[in-house]
C-alpha cells in the first residue's frame, strides 16, 4: 500500500489536473459570448482531454485570425494549451500506473508505468503538481485577459 503522503500526492495531482481540464471549456464558453450560455456549453462539450485542448486551440486561433489585434494573447493561449497536452502525457503515466509493491516500513513503492517497473518518484510527482498549478494560473490569466479584450473589441464592432 502507498503511504498516506504518497496517496495525497496522487490526489493533489489529480485535482490540480482536473481543474485544468475543467477550465478549458469554461473559458471557451465565455470567449464564444453567445447570449444563451447553454448554446456555448453545447458547442464546447467534449469528453476527452485531448479533444478539449484541440477545440480550445481551434477557437482561440480563429479569434486571433478574425481579430489580429488579439493575436499575441491567442498565441499565448495556444502555447499554454500545448503545454497542457505535454503535461497530460506525464499525468497519464502516473494516473494509469499499477502499484506492484510497497514497503510500509520504508515507504518505498514500485509502480508499473507504461509497462516499465519503476520506483515511486515523489519528487517527480511534486514537480508535476507544481507545473500543473502554475499552468492553471497561466491559463486563467491569459484567458481572462483575452475574454476582457475580446469583449472590448466586440463593443467597437
**Residue 10 forms part of a structural domain:** yes
**Residue 32 forms part of a structural domain:** yes
Q: Which residues pair with 101 in a beta bridge?
A: 110
pTM, to two decimals: 0.89
Which among 77, 72, 67, 75 has a CA at the least distance from the CA of 156?
67
Rounded to an integer, what distance in angstroms lies between the CA atom of residue 79 and that of residue 49? 16
Residue 25 is placed in which grid cell? 471549456
Count the domains in the chain. Answer: 1
- Position 76 pLDDT exceeds 80: yes
**Residue 57 forms part of a structural domain:** yes
**Residue 62 forms part of a structural domain:** yes
pLDDT for the residue 127? 96
**Residue 111 forms part of a structural domain:** no
**Residue 69 forms part of a structural domain:** yes
**Per residue in 33-66, pLDDT tens?**
887 878 888 888 888 999 999 999 999 999 999 9
Q: Percent of the chain beyond pLDDT 70?
A: 100
**Residue 150 forms part of a structural domain:** yes
Amino acid at each position: 500500500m502507498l503511504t498516506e503522503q504518497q496517496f495525497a500526492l496522487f490526489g493533489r495531482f489529480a485535482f490540480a489536473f482536473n481543474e485544468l481540464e475543467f477550465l478549458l471549456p469554461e473559458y471557451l464558453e465565455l470567449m464564444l459570448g453567445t447570449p444563451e450560455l447553454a448554446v456555448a456549453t453545447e458547442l464546447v462539450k467534449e469528453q476527452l482531454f485531448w479533444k478539449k485542448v484541440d477545440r480550445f486551440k481551434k477557437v482561440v486561433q480563429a479569434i486571433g485570425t478574425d481579430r489580429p489585434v488579439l493575436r499575441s494573447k491567442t498565441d499565448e493561449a495556444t502555447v499554454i494549451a500545448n503545454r497542457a497536452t505535454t503535461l497530460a502525457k506525464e499525468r497519464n503515466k502516473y494516473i494509469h500506473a499499477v502499484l506492484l509493491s510497497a514497503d510500509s516500513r520504508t515507504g518505498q513503492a514500485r509502480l508499473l508505468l507504461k509497462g516499465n517497473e519503476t520506483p515511486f518518484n515523489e519528487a517527480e510527482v511534486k514537480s508535476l503538481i507544481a507545473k500543473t498549478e502554475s499552468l492553471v494560473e497561466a491559463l486563467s490569466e491569459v484567458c481572462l485577459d483575452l475574454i476582457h479584450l475580446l469583449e472590448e473589441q466586440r463593443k467597437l464592432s
